[in-house]
Structure 1
Amino acid sequence: MKNGHGTTNTSDAIDFAVIGAGIAGASTAWRLAQAGHSVALLDRDEPASAAGSSHGSARILRYGYADPLYARLLAEAETGWAELETAHGSPLITRTGCVDAGEGHDTTRLAEVFTETGVEHTLFSPEEAASRFGDRFAFGTEALWHPRAGVLDAQSTVHAMVRAAVEHSATLLTGWEVASVTRRGAGYLITAADGRALSVRHVVVAAGGWLPRLLGGLGLPTSFTRALPAFEVRQESAFHFPYREEPAEPWPTSIHMIEGMIVYTLPGGRDAGYRGQKVAEFNGGPVIGDASRQDGRITSEHRQRIVDYVGTFLPGLVPEPYAETTCLFTNTPDEDFVIDTHESITVVSACSGHGGKFAPLLGTLAAGLATGERDVPARFRPSR
């Protein structure tokens, strides 16, 4: 086999095909190849494509999980981030700190989890928060500050993991749209939309917003697919607002929970010229079914909703967006990840807009389950 669009020799089955070269798929391919397995990483477009969920330079890395499971997993992911940044040769994370606030946010509980897991933090009263952050955030409630949080470069993270996988002899096949996966002997035949085929022993499906479209073509028994949660794919909108004054230090990220609305903000990175803050509403976009139905449109109503929010709560920004974009969120009802397996097909969905920060660990978990060398938290295996 060879890197790129070339035809693939199907006479000798390889160990693993990983479908999807976003964060979850790239991480899994890296870990499988690192362990010495022969791996093909397939993507309908290219790694970190804009048609998926892992593109762009700005995603939040934060520790604010009231759920101790995710808090522990994030601590475990730190080792992988250090490993990946060393392999990449430069930082993938910019540490800016994060402010968690709002009437709907249980910052006291988060502070307790931080204490339990050893995350440095300070819980500010409303008056202290206004004194510390009032030139940037006007939340009016107590605020939880943790300086270790920051912004991860999703696109560079994917490229770093793909490069590490290829250096361990994985093959990257781009422009490879999977049409079907069928049993063939002890393994599987993966057929592309253009007729190309690949023989493999194991399949890992990490297709993000394309997963609902693919599930029916994997030959999985209904007993398995019915146990999976409903995957809800949304087309989310994000807006970039300019700073009123050039900041002397990086702006923190923020999570603000108010009635009927969760808004997150973060420095926009190179996506919008480092000129301002990226602002978006969590699950504020329309449900679209699967990634094939995205149209990149942003409604004037949604734009105005965010402009009004910025004008009320973010005094350090000019409430006039200078750039905007859409992206995909693939949600489960309880926001848990899905890392589950049937025979030699493993399904991976790092769901609900919070998978990126676990990037190096997702591959460790998925590869461990796919090879049988490690199990994953029971909550991630609905078929059980």
Structure 2
Amino acid sequence: MESFEYVVVGAGLSGAATAWQLAARGHDIALLERTTPANDAGSSHGSARIFRYAYPDTFYTGLVVEAKAGWDELTRLSGKQLITPTGAVDYGAVRKPERLAAALATHGIEHELLSAKEAQDRWGQIAFDTDVLWHPGAGVIDAHESVEAMVDQAVDHGAALHTNWELACITETAGAYTLTSLDGRSIKAANIVVAAGGWLPKLLGSLSLPTSFLEHFPDFEVRQEQAYHFPYVDGTAPASWPTFIHKREGWQSYGLPGGRDAGFRGQKVAEYNGGKILPSAASQDGVIDPVNRRRVIDYVEKYLPGLVPEPYAETTCLFTNTPTEDFIIDRAEGITILSPCSGHGAKFAPLIGQFAADLATGTGTVPEQFRLAAQATAAGAH
């Protein structure tokens, strides 16, 4: 049976980032993936994820600044453009652009607050209903290429990549762990990092974690999200089309250039958390809800005049949500759990890998609000 110092379970963005960091630090590691890295059944596939600095909480804005250094390093090492600059606009009564601007100002990030008319004059393809925050440092992450780049770095540093290796359970014996796959294969590890995305809720009970640790876990909500690609009215992407988040009472949507996923001829638009709730990722069926499709088409017709309100492609993906939308990065004994979820984790991937590697090796810690005890205390206060 193969034996490793560290085994990372899951080769999506967070798992691949952790494997890269651990391997680069000289550790003996294996990376296990249930199918293949960045596969379509997970949360890290495709060419279109938003990279942005705008958060109402200066804590997360500061983390994006830290994460960008990791993206710059990965870009240098891989020789690939992993983030395409587009800038971003944020608007809507609930989105509160002024509050976002204050968070950006705290960290010295370039931005402008514009009236709806000023924004409309600049981006006629979008119908704005409030003042608008613009920050030019935003862009679009190519998730698939990013995962591949991080896996490549891990392997180049000696990591063993095992694909089509689906975890069934973890057992502990004499301070070491045995990971067993669904088809009966086994690997031994002194330490484990679990970055299983939408499969984590189903796996939790089979990970040999202490009961006291499990009791602090928040309720996870796994959703099958839906996104649609709409063609540009003139057939080509306007050079000035930014990513956007529009949040008003009862509705939150986002959009970004679809890139390779959309054949470079359309915008990806979705309702945030508009998909059905699943028992686990294993229950996803890839079926689009026609009611959701109609809502998004109606939205495009009203608020995005630069798009033809007829989707030419559509897809589903997984969101794993926590009640506070905070991430989970915590450790019990020799097992580290990662869930950088709630639909906004992609932009932090290199930093998540650093946090996880620090925590797993005992060389550093993570922000306290990512620890389970802190989240349980916060939930109790409410």
Q: CA deviation at 1:228?
A: 1.2
Q: CA deviation at 1:221?
A: 1.7
Partner of residue 293 from structure 1, selected from 283, 294, 305: 283
User: What pairs up with 1:350-369 in 2 under 5 angstroms?
Assistant: 350-369=340-359
Match of 1:263 in 2: 253
- Indicate conservation of the 8 Å contact 1:233/1:328, yes or no: yes
> Hey, what's the Cα distance between the residues in 1 that align with 2:229 and 2:198?
24
Match of 2:169 in 1: 180
> Hey, what's the Cα distance between the residues in 2 that align with 1:247 and 1:202?
47
- Indicate conservation of the 8 Å contact 2:9/2:196, yes or no: yes
> Hey, what's the Cα distance between the residues in 2 that align with 1:123 and 1:192?
52
Amino acid at match of 1:158: V
Match of 1:124 in 2: 114
Amino acid at match of 2:263: G
Partner of residue 222 from structure 1, selected from 211, 217, 222: 211
| Identical amino acids, percent of aligned pairs | 56
The secondary structure found in structure 2 opposite 1:287 is strand
Match of 2:377 in 1: none
- Indicate conservation of the 8 Å contact 1:58/1:152, yes or no: yes
> Hey, what's the Cα distance between the residues in 1 that align with 2:95 and 2:237?
27
Partner of residue 347 from structure 1, selected from 326, 337, 358: 337
> Hey, what's the Cα distance between the residues in 1 that align with 2:78 and 2:240?
23
> Hey, what's the Cα distance between the residues in 2 that align with 1:140 and 1:132?
14
Which stretches of structure 1, 4 residues or more, deviate above 6 A after TM superposition?
none
Amino acid at match of 2:247: M
Amino acid at match of 1:322: Y
> Hey, what's the Cα distance between the residues in 1 that align with 2:166 and 2:237?
44
- Indicate conservation of the 8 Å contact 2:225/2:276, yes or no: yes
Match of 2:295 in 1: 305
Match of 2:380 in 1: none
The secondary structure found in structure 1 opposite 2:218 is coil
Cα deviations by residue, 1:318-372 (Å, 9 ceiling, x for unpaired): 0000000000000000000000000100000001010100111110001100111
Indicate yes or no: 2:157 matched with 1:168.
yes
Amino acid at match of 2:130: T
Cα deviations by residue, 1:44-86 (Å, 9 ceiling, x for unpaired): 1010011110000000001111111111111011110011001
Amino acid at match of 1:138: A
User: What pairs up with 1:1-384 in 2 under 5 angstroms?
Assistant: 9-10=1-2, 13-133=3-123, 135-245=124-234, 246-383=236-373
The secondary structure found in structure 2 opposite 1:383 is helix
> Hey, what's the Cα distance between the residues in 1 that align with 2:99 and 2:350?
27
> Hey, what's the Cα distance between the residues in 1 that align with 2:305 and 2:68?
33
> Hey, what's the Cα distance between the residues in 1 that align with 2:70 and 2:136?
20
> Hey, what's the Cα distance between the residues in 1 that align with 2:358 and 2:271?
34
Amino acid at match of 1:152: I
> Hey, what's the Cα distance between the residues in 2 that align with 1:203 and 1:89?
30
- Cα 1:53/1:248, change in 2 over 3 Å: closer
> Hey, what's the Cα distance between the residues in 1 that align with 2:237 and 2:277?
36
Q: CA deviation at 1:140?
A: 2.2
> Hey, what's the Cα distance between the residues in 2 that align with 1:235 and 1:274?
24
For structure 1, the residue ranges without an aligned partner over 5 or more in a row are 1-8
Q: CA deviation at 1:247?
A: 3.4
Cα deviations by residue, 1:200-234 (Å, 9 ceiling, x for unpaired): 10010000000011101011122111101111100
The secondary structure found in structure 2 opposite 1:200 is strand
RMSD: 0.9
For structure 2, the residue ranges without an aligned partner over 5 or more in a row are 375-382
- Indicate conservation of the 8 Å contact 2:287/2:316, yes or no: yes
> Hey, what's the Cα distance between the residues in 1 that align with 2:173 and 2:110?
52
Q: How many residues align?
A: 373
> Hey, what's the Cα distance between the residues in 2 that align with 1:179 and 1:383?
27
- Indicate conservation of the 8 Å contact 1:340/1:383, yes or no: no
> Hey, what's the Cα distance between the residues in 2 that align with 1:285 and 1:212?
18
Amino acid at match of 2:139: G
Match of 2:379 in 1: none
- Cα 1:375/1:321, change in 2 over 3 Å: same
Cα deviations by residue, 1:126-166 (Å, 9 ceiling, x for unpaired): 22122222x21102211000011010000000000000000
- Indicate conservation of the 8 Å contact 2:14/2:338, yes or no: yes
> Hey, what's the Cα distance between the residues in 2 that align with 1:90 and 1:174?
23
- Cα 1:248/1:319, change in 2 over 3 Å: closer
> Hey, what's the Cα distance between the residues in 1 that align with 2:182 and 2:238?
51
TM-score computed with the length of structure 1 as normaliser: 0.96
- Cα 1:248/1:126, change in 2 over 3 Å: closer
- Indicate conservation of the 8 Å contact 2:237/2:265, yes or no: no
> Hey, what's the Cα distance between the residues in 1 that align with 2:53 and 2:63?
10
Q: CA deviation at 1:250?
A: 4.6
TM-score computed with the length of structure 2 as normaliser: 0.96
> Hey, what's the Cα distance between the residues in 2 that align with 1:269 and 1:130?
24
Q: CA deviation at 1:248?
A: 4.4
